[in-house]
Amino acid sequence: MGKYGFHVVDADGHVADSGTRILSYVDEPYRERLGRLIEWRRQNTGGGHMSPVDIPYNDLAQGFERTGRRLLGTSDVADNLDQTFQIFGTTSGFHAQMRAGAGNDPQVTREDLTEMGIDEAVWFPTQLTSVVSIREPAYEAAVARGYNRWVAEFCAAQPGQFFGVAVIPHHDIALAVAEIERVAKEPWCVGITSCLTLPDKLPDHPDFHPIYRACEENDLAVCVHSGTDRPPYAPARAELTDNYFLLHMTGHPWQQMRAMASIIGGGIYELFPTLRFAHLESGCTWVPYWMERMDSHAEKLAYTVPRLKARPSEHVTGGRCFVSFEVDEALLPAAASALGEDHLVYASDYPHYDANLDAIPDLVARTDLTDSQKTKFLGTNARRLFGRMG
């Protein structure tokens, strides 16, 4: 029994990965190249070229720039200098209450989770899903493999309590399958994470089928997880006028809507009948709306989804589709009713700036959920999603 009366599995916590931290885990000759990229970023950070992170998005100077600088209601970023504006938030991306070592020191992290009431955690990267922007397949694969080695060591420090999802390369599917087969032999790995998105391909594309097959054969969950204003970019990024309020609010759900519809519409659930998918960090109350809209379009535009053999909503509620929720979602009980209460999982987003560190006592205190639902949402469902947890 956990701290607040329920055994809690965090289905989506984050490690504090960085290029510097994974550098020694990357094979040569790519370790040396990554080191030069980190140094390039160090020298150019603050010069208007790149954001203050050292993750290897691309070794082209113009390859990536974090934006979101214009404040809504202003004409351009120069207006941000208006002294009447109350600028708040964090520049680091991490919660203001986090201690040094959160997300990278296993002991500090374990202590934090104990305080929050979390018993077991599944770790996702903070930045490394953007490895897809490295267009050289062998280089991308080497960096993904380096991250997976680093997170494996992180998880091994808390065996039976820390698990992780692996990052995979995208530009050479054979390399992706090889990495899946490698990490599947290791006890920490319970899934893979990706947006499953390339400039000309969405998750329904047959090129991704070998990835799905390898995950299905190795009982690994496929976790769709995006980031904010970083590769692979969310839909309509260029139309949001460089404002972080819009970029963050829309990026995750738009990515998830697109991914869910293409996975279901592309017949992926039919082709891989035991494969499990998770849609994360977007809340859950968009899903009932999306279920109805997918059902309507699948009926009226059936010729566009020839491989789909069931109503989309039947796949969402069929036992293999999981969605994370936010504890403060007022419509959580209604969403649970529409999706089925066996499909929702708790995700802390620790140690990011918008994590709710009191989420578990807040959920336990809710009177519109039953104890049975709380048990499922806080732990049982996550263990079904990540079957390799044991």
- The pLDDT value given to residue 67: 66
- The pLDDT value given to residue 34: 87
Give residue 45's pLDDT band: very low, low, confident or very high (50, 70, 90): low
Residue 162 φ/ψ, nearest 5 degrees: -110, 130
- The pLDDT value given to residue 52: 39
Give residue 278's pLDDT band: very low, low, confident or very high (50, 70, 90): very high
> For 318, which DSSP code?
T
Give residue 12's pLDDT band: very low, low, confident or very high (50, 70, 90): very high
- The pLDDT value given to residue 46: 52
Could you report how far apart the first and last alpha carbons of the chain are, in Å? 17
Q: Which domains does the chain have, with CATH numbers?
A: 9-389 (3.20.20.140)
pLDDT(65) > 70: no
Of 55-64, 150-159, 302-311, 366-375, the poorest mean pLDDT is in 55-64
Tokens standing for residue 119? 């018993």
Give residue 212's pLDDT band: very low, low, confident or very high (50, 70, 90): very high
Give residue 177's pLDDT band: very low, low, confident or very high (50, 70, 90): very high
User: SS3 helix, strand, coil % of the chain, rounded to 5?
Assistant: 45, 10, 45
Give residue 79's pLDDT band: very low, low, confident or very high (50, 70, 90): confident
Residue 79 near residue 71 (C-beta atoms within 8 A): yes
pLDDT(238) > 90: no
69 forms beta bridges with 243
Give residue 56's pLDDT band: very low, low, confident or very high (50, 70, 90): very low
For tokens 């996975």, name the residue.
Answer: 263
pLDDT(258) > 90: yes
Query: Average of pLDDT values for 235-255?
Result: 90
pLDDT(389) > 50: yes
